[in-house]
Structure 1
Amino acid sequence: MAVIDVRMPPGFRTEGLRAALDLRRARPGIGVLMLSAHLETRYLFTLLDGEPRGVGYLLKDRIAGVDAFVEALRRVHAGGCVVDPEVVATMLARRSDRTGFLSARELEILGLMAEGLSNQAISERLHLAPRTVEAHIRHVFVRLDLPPASDYHRRVQAVLAYLRRNDPPK
């Protein structure tokens, strides 16, 4: 388990984030709790990309006390994902139309998701390995700012973003 500040010496830019990414590459099962003084969702998505288990991202000034901090540590250590509610709210507010950030293949897969196809059906239709389809879908979630959450279904939210993008102007 590691607790790392996003901005660390010597440059106080993203050294901590880079250290966390290196650590997770070297030891994939290790939990990482990132702390930040600033609300910067791009760092969270970089850290979550590929494997959200065992990841936490908290804003330093919003940690409600020692008990809340220890609980976040426990959840991340146990493989959970802990994200500051203010960060989640910001990500959801920015989510309106992020489909412009998707690659052509990701848009194609998202379109097939909108048709109701399962990952297996998409894999067969596009002649791709199931893991490749899963990787594209994970990237769609990241690019659409759809972090794992218990109060909404990411696949449905991604399809809604796709449908909004393709709605004719009124």
Structure 2
Amino acid sequence: MSGYKMSNSEITAKEDKIKFSLKDVIFTTIFTIAFILQIFLMFFVQNQINIPFLFFSGWILWIISLYFAFIPFFAFKKRGGVVKGKSYINTSKVVKDGSYAIIRHPQYLSGILFSISMTLWNPVWYNIVLSIIIIILTYQWTYAEDKHLIGKFGQDYETYKSEVPRLNLILGFIKYFAKKNNK
């Protein structure tokens, strides 16, 4: 059904039918434990390696992660066709501008950058391991998210997916500026 857009009631009904597999529950549990543990260790274990450049870089990544974490709240509400009073995730159309013109999953990227920033603040082996776990699981979730969004938006999302990278900021900026220069 090319060009067909689901109504808000169809989207809400479809989203209510999302089911989670045992794999989803296990991945979510592992992710949650790793994420909480990384935060806990950040605050309660003394920084063992003091490298100012890494510490400063961690702050820069953390600030960038905040931007990508919160921009969807506004972008979806403003440009996603969200019905007043509904959550920002209840979009009725694909948002393709702003940070979504550069990468498809800014909130997932935010989680990755946040985890890396904590590792840069305290670059010890257990933080590196926790970051790797968080990055792998987060990246894995983007595949499921793409599948869900293809089901929700169809060809419109397929086209968007072919034009905008999943999480790669560098490739996203290259494609974004190349597209702007060709206009």
> Greater share of strand residues, 1 or 2?
1
Q: Shorter-chain TM-score: what band?
A: under 0.3
> Greater share of helix residues, 1 or 2?
2
Larger RCO, structures 1/2 (Cα 8 Å, 6+ apart): 2
**Larger Rg: 1 or 2?**
2
**TM-score w.r.t. length of structure 2:** 0.26
